[in-house]
Structure 1
Amino acid sequence: MSKSALVCVTHNNCDTLIRCLESVFNNTSAPYHLFLIDNASSDPTPGLYTQLPSTATVVRNTANRWWAGGINQGIRLAGDDFDHVFFLNDDIEVPKRWLERLTNLLDSNPGIGAIGPLNSNPNDWQCYDRVRTEQDIGSLLPAAPEIDRRDLAAMDALVAGQNDPPGVTIQGMLAFFCTGLRREAVAKVGLLDEAFIMGGDDDDYCRRLTRAGFDLALALNTYVLHHGSVSINRMDDGVRAEFKRRNLARLAEKYAETSEAGA
């Protein structure tokens, strides 16, 4: 049976991290090991680490290496011992059998380099209702207006029955709140670009995957809660604006020829 490396990066998000870890430890039955990268948390987060099971390894950085830097640390730690690498935000909650569903789709479709689930966050394009109303594949998902989108068990029961098809390839990008990658794809494409801070890294990496010949896929049978933007919302508006400017400039620099070709 295949085994997955789960890489989660955290920084001063103790409340959401607790819920994230509880859901991962309680709801993950497929083989995995969690690499938790702490970017110099100064809140109560470090107190959690004495309670973690043997399926987790913690790295405590003395400085904030940001999300991409932390993910790269996890990739290096995982090495070649795993079939898949999953990037997890610390503000998600996963349902039972989430990992089995995503890895089954990866294992049965060798052309897929990365796959992500549906989610609850209206700011993400992978939000259940946004996929229903804004994407060509929306007809594959029922409306289900009576279900609270924050009710993970109910939404999970709904989408787990969506097995025809359980996943579809997509154009564009996956948001990296909960994304699984084939180990061969990571080996071919390489590490994340650490020039991106709090955004842009997922867009960049998905472009690199596509250029390397891999497909991107959305799992229609997997749903996670994504509280969304917990870390960045604590920042000053000016800092957020500067990060966004720098990230957009980096994307423009790397993909100038793409923009020119589409002009």
Structure 2
Amino acid sequence: MTIEPEHDAPEQAAPVSSPVAVVTVTYSSGEYLHSFLRTLKTATTAPVQVIIADNGSDDGAPEAAAAADPTVTLVDTGGNLGYGGGMNRGVAAVGPDVEFIVIANPDIEWSPGSLDELLAAARRWPRAGALGPLITEPDGTVYPSARRVPDLISGTGHALLGAVWKNNPWTVRYRNEDAELVERPVGWLSGSCLLVRRAAFESVDGFDSRYFMFMEDVDLGDRLSRAGWLNVFVPSAVAMHAKSHSVSRHPERMITAHHDSAYRFQADRHPGARWAPVRAGLRVGLAVRARLAIAAALRERAAAEKTARTEEER
């Protein structure tokens, strides 16, 4: 089923009733979406309604997924709203009786029983507004998905130095990689895969759609905490993240969005005239870092393309 966007009208509710809904945002996600839906079938024994909020794909994958499975509803967002904006549109299409909503990237692959583990943890933690699994990378490396909320010093230090000095003290503190892999409340959880309690998500008005991409999960986790909810890390649930295919295809746009979001997060929390010099310095520093990161990404892409052409010519 496909839901088309309507101007100044609320999204229609998906027709399938279930105790949990899964919402993903697509932007030409291709085979990733197929793996996402295939592995989701083993992640829980509960009936699941799936909402695909499509931000303008041109690969036909969302339409094919909706046509193949009656539990999948396709919501056309009407354009590329970014991750948070697209996710808000998808959540708005979830039936009103659904208490728990999974928010996940389409390049997630679920481990068997992982969603059931998150649902069980949600019942153990009634004040949990968001719960996140242990996330691995394709090579099996554990991704630091449960982190501290960055303050001005640690956030700035990580933003400016994280790419060139990976073990700097601000990045180490922010990423929180040395913490034990035990179930516990944390500052925020990766938005690549989250189970949110609908009441909590709606109490903070969902994602802040001003964040086109990146940092929207940090902002959500911080606002949930400020509203009295917990962000709970659940390492007994495991998911694999293929990691940002959109970034590799569009480094200029994505790196710029990342740095813009880093600035917005700190600027929102440090308003007023007395913080103006700090905000100005942060903006300049992030702009310089963004230009350097874009140049490096473009060089890396050019080298990869050259290598591919050489291989083809052999």
Specify if TM > 0.5: yes
Indicate yes or no: 2:215 matched with 1:200: yes
Counterpart amino acid of residue 38 in structure 1: D
Give deviations 1:38-97, integer Å, cap 9, x for gaps. Answer: 111112424523543222111123421221111101121115321111101000111222
> 8 Å contact 1:115–1:217 — kept in the other structure?
yes
2:268 to 250, 254, 259: 254
SS in structure 1 of the partner of residue 188 of structure 2: coil
Give deviations 1:208-254, integer Å, cap 9, x for gaps. Answer: 00000111111121111111111122113x32332123112211221
Counterpart amino acid of residue 118 in structure 1: L
Change (3 A) 1:4 1:199: same
**TM-score, structure 2 as length reference:** 0.66
Q: Distance in 2 between matches of 1:216 and 1:26?
A: 25
1:29 to 45, 49, 52: 45
Task: Measure how far apart 1:32 and its partner are.
Answer: 2.0
Q: Which runs of 4+ in 1 moved over 4 A?
A: none
> 8 Å contact 2:52–2:62 — kept in the other structure?
no
Aligned CA RMSD, in angstroms, stands at 2.4
Farther-moved stretch of structure 1 (209-218 vs 22-31): 22-31
Indicate yes or no: 2:89 matched with 1:73: yes
Farther-moved stretch of structure 1 (112-121 vs 43-52): 43-52
> 8 Å contact 1:6–1:33 — kept in the other structure?
yes
Match of 1:106 in 2: 122
**TM-score, structure 1 as length reference:** 0.78
1:59 to 64, 68, 75: 75
Q: Distance in 1 between matches of 2:259 and 2:177?
A: 27
Match of 1:175 in 2: 190
User: Which runs of no fewer than 5 residues in structure 1 stay unpaired?
Assistant: 141-166
SS in structure 2 of the partner of residue 69 of structure 1: helix
Match of 1:88 in 2: 104
Give the alignment of 1:95-174 within 5 angstroms: 95-121=111-137, 122=141, 124-126=143-145, 134-138=177-181, 167-170=183-186, 172-174=187-189
2:32 to 16, 20, 44: 16
Match of 2:256 in 1: 242
> 8 Å contact 2:191–2:217 — kept in the other structure?
yes
Equivalent residue pairs, number: 226
Match of 1:216 in 2: 231
Higher relative contact order (CA 8 A, sep 6+): 1
Overall identity of the aligned pairs, in %: 26
Match of 1:6 in 2: 22
Indicate yes or no: 2:199 matched with 1:184: yes
